[in-house]
Structures are given as C-alpha cells and as structure tokens.
Amino acid sequence: EHARTHTHTHTHVPTHIHTRTHTHVPSHMHTRTHIHRNARARALTHTYPGTYAHTHIHERARTHTYLRTSIHA
C-alpha cells in the first residue's frame, strides 16, 4: 500500500525533483527544505512564468513530504 501511494505521487510530481528527494531521505525536515528549494528553482528555470507551476509544484511537494513522513512513521 505504501509503495503504491509513493508511486502515484511520483507520477504526479516531476521525476527530477522526486528522484532527488528520494535519494536524500535522511531526515523529514531536511527533505522538506530540499523539496521547497528544488521546486522553486526548478519551476523558475523550467517555466518562464513561474507562477502557476510554482504553486502547483509547491503544493504537490508539500503533500509528498507529508506522505513520506506518514510512511516513515
């Protein structure tokens, strides 16, 4: 069940950000900060008008972090 949920989120969020986060999962807090920073930079670099993408990635990243904590706990 856990694996299934993770796969679903992975498909939703870009592979680049997710892969980076997946490789670095030592601490929940650290992962959260990493995702936020990565998502911001990625969105700005990926799309010119980093407004819609920024909000979208931010929300998805937050949800992913929450799910990750749940799985860990």
Model pTM above 0.75: no
Average pLDDT of the chain is: 46
Burial of 16: CB neighbours in 10 Å, binned 0-12, 13-18, 19+: exposed
Is the distance from CB of 64 to CB of 9 less than 8 angstroms? yes
Residue with tokens 């930079």: 41
pLDDT the model gives residue 71: 53
What is the band of 51 on the pLDDT scale with cuts at 50, 70, 90? very low
Ordered by start, the domain boundaries in the chain are 27-73
pLDDT at 1: 53
Task: Tell me how far apart the 2 most distant CA atoms of the chain are, in Å.
Answer: 38
